[in-house]
Amino acid sequence: MKLEVLVSTMNREDLSLVNKMNIKSDVLIVNQSPTSDYDFEIKKEFNIRMLSFKEKGLSKSRNRALQNAQGDICLIADDDVRYHDDYVDKVINAHTEYADYDIIVFAVPTTNIDREKKYYTRVKRMGYVRSLKIASFEISFKRKSIIDNKILFNEEFGAGSGQYSMGEENIFIYQCLKKGLKILYLPIEIGLVTHEESTWFFGYNQKYFIDKGACYAAMSPKYAYLIAWQFGLRKYLNYKKEVNFIDAIINMQKGIRGYNSKRGFN
């Protein structure tokens, strides 16, 4: 069973990112840059590939990675993740032990205290509600399951998309669940993420909540309003200093209506 890390990054001129991230398995780097290029290096233990494209958008980058991946198991990565030395064994052993699952989610805690996340301490089957907490860099998957079901990231969403700045991983996971794929969370830490600087979060402003609403509409046109309300309640302590509850709900509903109307759901 071969593991391949799929890294999305920008403006890289060499392969030094592999050492910075402590990658010790096959890796595909999708590099969005001013030039299109291909770089390849064979190491004794693993292969390094870097594909450079003259384009922007995180979801577009993720899709390039999905379309060019070669591993049996793929691990989605951001370029600010640093893996532990034993991550390869942990991921492969997990997929061997839980072979019935198409997607296995791991813990990747942040070193930024302002963006700390509480992880489950027990093994959890992930459904529609629990999956709302999943971040893309925590996801590993069987490549065949994703390719056979023709699942891609929605390129209207994600940093650099020019439309909606967030939510691409949630929409991706919802597609997986709708296709019948099985998702499991394991309380196993495989690395750390720095979260030093966000490319899309600039506070709980109007656009943040409109984009949230649009994301929920893309996930589930039927239940988008309900999902928005649970988010408003569950995250109230996080945003209450910047915006009141009613305005948060109003703007999420605005995002839902805007996204649904473009697709004839209203």
pLDDT tens readout for residues 64-103: 999 999 999 999 999 999 999 999 999 999 999 999 999 9
- Distance between CA 157 and CA 215 in Å, rounded? 8
Kindly report the pTM of this predicted structure.
Answer: 0.92
Of the candidates 142, 207, 213, the one whose C-alpha atom is nearest the C-alpha of residue 171 is 213
| Residues 139-167, mean pLDDT to the nearest whole number | 92
Which neighbouring-strand residues pair with 136?
A: none
Question: Mean pLDDT over residues 162-187, rounded?
Answer: 94
Cα torsion 166, 81, 74, 42: sign: positive
Which of 165-169, 195-199, 220-224, 259-263 has the weakest average pLDDT?
195-199
Element (H, E) at 185: strand 183-189
- The whole-number pLDDT of residue 34 equals 85
Q: Is 104 exposed, middle or buried (0-12, 13-18, 19+ CB in 10 A)?
A: buried
Residue 6 confidence (pLDDT) above 90: yes
Cα separation of the two ends of the chain: 46
Q: Are strands 124-125 and 3-10 parallel, antiparallel or unpaired?
A: unpaired
Ordered alpha helix ranges (H), the chain: 17-20, 58-68, 87-97, 143-148, 168-178, 206-219, 224-234, 236-239, 245-262
Residue 29, classed as helix, strand or coil, is strand
For the segment 162-190, the average pLDDT, to the nearest whole number, is: 94
Q: Can you give the pLDDT at residue 161?
A: 75
**Residue 254 phi/psi, 5° resolution?**
-65, -40
Which of 108, 109, 172 lies closest to 141 in space, CA to CA?
172
Quick check: 119 and 186 in contact, CB under 8 A? Answer: no
What fold does the segment set 3-193 form as a domain? Spore Coat Polysaccharide Biosynthesis Protein SpsA; Chain A (3.90.550)
